[in-house]
Amino acid sequence: MAAADVRPGEPADLDPRLEGTHIANSVIDLIGHTPLVRMRRTMEIEQLPSVLAMKMETTNPGGSAKDRPALEMILAAEREGLLKPGGTIVEPTSGNTGVGLAIVAAQRGYRCVFVMTDKVAPEKISLLKAYGAEVVVCPVAVEPDDPQSYYKVAERLTHELEAFRPNQYANPHNPVAHVKTTGPELWEQTAGRITHFVAGAGTCGSITGVARYLKEKNPDIQIVAADPEGSVFSGGSGRPYLVEGVGEDFFPAAWEPDLYDRIIPISDEESFLTARRISETEGILIGGSGGMAVAAAIQVAKEAGPDDIVVVFNPDSGRGYLSRVFDDEWMANFGFIRECDQCVGAVLDTRSPTLDSLLYVNPAETVRVAIERMRSNGVSQLPVCKNTPPFAAAEVSGAVDELELMESIYRDPSLMETTVEKVMGPKLPTVGVGQKLELAVRMLETAPALLVLSGGRPLSVLTRSDVLSYFEAVADG
């Protein structure tokens, strides 16, 4: 029997009663050894010249690839004396890494405190609490150096609780987890015949760790990063996108571009639609980032030869994204799917082509500029958008309205030269280009105008007079 002071996950923790059985000694022993499965039912994949296989990280105990670095970072901290028996782990995370850390902490007797913002979905908080972790929620609407901000609170708690902070973005043991486990598994499972490895990158731990191992075995193996459009890895400026868990607006410590042969940007739309298609046709439920990686892998596999084996890394399950990627209403509202034939888009199609490009004003432009833009284009509302087109939905920060501006300037004429961001109103309600016209009509009963989204991006502003002109055109045949 194992000695009382030997904890689960340690080599000495062997119980002779388990000998000859297939009973894992602890849940820690179930981390890794994930299956590799061929994909073959999706039409595009059926027609590929090469073999496309998925590394299914969903079979880790926490349901994601992050169990691997969580274990490695904790074991390394114990070795380095940063984490003592009964100690505390503090990490700002709401996602998969939190689950991995909580599982290992439960087995090895640590207290876990996770810090997150009040923007996080309640299920994510419940999930971490279910594993016995404590959760501290901070307001999202404060500056990063405010003492209440999520980073500052994590810093303070780490100090006060004398805790260990794994910091997966800077921790060298994060990629090491994949050098030690994921890389060798892929080499063994493909009998050394893997030719391409495709994965999304967030902390870059997975792609860099696997690349280090595989390139050592065979430098010809192609390492391909799939990246959300807008993320810095594929040359973007860090502009927002909707796919979760991948891409960044900075370069983490494990970013090692010399190891990557190719980086393929993939849009939110392609990521989400691929996730839905693969889940349906292959019976493998994947999330948006898995869909992104598969979309890139299909591009790679199309160019690969008949003897090639392309492996795509699926980091987690679609179950975590049921209220987004797999919710038809959410998808339609962002303009990713169509609900009908005669929908909002039909109204836009009948308008003057001069309204084809999105009219907007930047938050730093003056009220005078906004008024002139509205007047010269004959419109009464403009969305306020940061940066330059094509905008992400998250870059819309508000709206200006002719009537409201008139009233404000009447009270204070000096506002004419002030910046739009100081006077703008709330954002216009959004409607998807493929949503029912009936919905737009109902929304226009209370809102003067709607912002139409297509592929997750603002496309145009829809007003009551647009809808009336459309009805008139339909009536006139």
Ligand X SMILES: Cc1ncc(COP(=O)(O)O)c(C=O)c1O
Strand order in the sheet with 449-454: 430-432, 449-454, 457-463
Radius of gyration of the chain (CA): 26
Q: Whole-number minimum distance, CB 252 to ligand X, in Å? A: 8
Q: Is 242 in the site for ligand X (CB under 6 A)?
A: no
Q: Whole-number minimum distance, CB 199 to ligand X, in Å? A: 6
Beta-carbon contacts of residue 85 (< 8 Å; ≥ 6 apart)? 109
**Which residues within the stretch 57-116 sit at the binding site for ligand X (CB under 6 A)?**
96
Residue 39: closest CA among 53, 20, 60? 53
Return the residue matching tokens 């392309």.
Answer: 310
Q: Whole-number minimum distance, CB 205 to ligand X, in Å? A: 4
Q: Is 246 in the site for ligand X (CB under 6 A)?
A: yes
Q: Whole-number minimum distance, CB 149 to ligand X, in Å? A: 22
Only segment of 74-82, 112-120, 199-207, 453-461 that touches ligand X (CB under 6 A): 199-207
**Which residues within the stretch 408-437 sit at the binding site for ligand X (CB under 6 A)?**
none
Structure-block tokens of residue 193: 């015949």
Q: Is 34 in the site for ligand X (CB under 6 A)?
A: no
Q: Is 245 in the site for ligand X (CB under 6 A)?
A: yes
Q: Catalytic site residues?
A: 66
DSSP state at residue 180: I
**Which residues within the stretch 293-322 sit at the binding site for ligand X (CB under 6 A)?**
293, 315-316
Q: Which is nearer to ligand X, 293 or 431 (CB)?
A: 293
Q: Whole-number minimum distance, CB 297 to ligand X, in Å? A: 12
Residue 342 backbone class (left: φ over 0; alpha: ψ -120 to 50; beta: rest): beta
Q: Is 267 in the site for ligand X (CB under 6 A)?
A: no
Q: Which is nearer to ligand X, 87 or 245 (CB)?
A: 245
Structure-block tokens of residue 185: 């598994």
Rounded CA gap, 468 and 441, in Å? 10
Q: Is 171 in the site for ligand X (CB under 6 A)?
A: no
Only segment of 8-16, 184-192, 197-205, 327-335 that touches ligand X (CB under 6 A): 197-205
Would the CA dihedral through 416, 421, 425, 428 be positive or negative? positive
Q: Between the CA of residue 168 and those of 98, 239, 298, 346, 452, what are the distances in Å?
A: 11, 22, 29, 47, 38
Only segment of 26-34, 242-250, 328-336, 425-433 that touches ligand X (CB under 6 A): 242-250
Q: With beta carbons less than 8 A apart as the criterion, state whether 167 and 70 touch.
A: no
Q: Is 291 in the site for ligand X (CB under 6 A)?
A: no
Q: Enumerate binding residues for ligand X (CB under 6 A).
A: 96, 199-207, 244-246, 289, 293, 315-316
